[in-house]
Amino acid sequence: MKGVLAEHMAVRSRVGMFDVSHMGDILVTGPDAVALMNCVLPSNVSSIKTGKSAYTAFLNKSGLLIDDTIVYRISEDKVFFVPNAATTEEVLNWLVSNSKGFNVKIQNLSSDLACFAIQGPLSKDVAADLGIVFPEPFTFSFQSDKYGGRNEINKKNDLIVSGTGYTGEPGFEMVVDVRSCNKWWVSAI
């Protein structure tokens, strides 16, 4: 077995790692961050507890799909989400155009952050080897970046480790500073 099929089977039976840094990284902060997200997403972001995430979508005014996304409730006034690469600018523009009257700051952190998805039955072993606490599904935590990366989401030397991914297998995703991403990647492989 070779190629894509071999990679697919590795994720199903062992573990696979994906560089998904091409995805967007957008942070919405301010007293109205959650209220804005409640207006532009069909999900009730108010009901997502701090430290939890949810799979949702951006819809246009006609109810048509702009993009699917995972939204992270960082705090009472801070929401982070990861749109697809091809629609990051469209989502960003949609957010800005709908933010009138909301007390928010919208930041595109896509150039500052990298993201890896480590998926499969052995992903817990990889997390342990990296010194990372393996997350429950749709939870996340800030964990120390042992390589000194600075996370622009909370302005600390942390990375986000989340129990998210699109493979259907157990796994986690890491959102790290681009300056430390190469060290994390090499450590994981």
Nearest partner of 70 among 62, 85, 81, judged by Cα: 81
Nearest partner of 161 among 177, 179, 140, judged by Cα: 140
| Percent with pLDDT over 70 in the chain | 99
Superfamily of domain 3-22+112-188: Probable tRNA modification gtpase trme; domain 1 (3.30.1360.120)
Residue 181: pLDDT above 80? Answer: yes
Confidence at residue 140, expressed as pLDDT on a 0 to 100 scale:
75
Distance in angstroms between the alpha carbons of the first and the last residue of the chain: 21
Question: pLDDT for 64-81, tens place per residue?
Answer: 999 998 898 989 999 999
Residue 26: pLDDT above 90? Answer: yes
Nearest partner of 170 among 136, 140, 130, judged by Cα: 136
Question: pLDDT for 135-152, tens place per residue?
Answer: 788 777 777 777 777 777
d(CA 153, CA 113): 9
| Boundaries of every domain in the chain | 3-22+112-188, 26-108
For 77-133, give the DSSP string. TEEEEE--GGGHHHHHHHHHHT-TTS--EEEE-TTTEEEEEEESTTHHHHHHHHT-P
Question: pLDDT for 68-118, tens place per residue?
Answer: 988 989 899 999 999 988 999 999 999 999 999 999 999 999 999 999 999
Confidence at residue 100, expressed as pLDDT on a 0 to 100 scale:
95
pLDDT bin (cut points 50, 70, 90) of residue 1 is low
Q: Which residues pair with 53 in a beta bridge?
A: 72
Pick the CATH number of 26-108 from 3.40.50.720, 3.30.70.1400, 3.50.50.60, 2.130.10.10: 3.30.70.1400
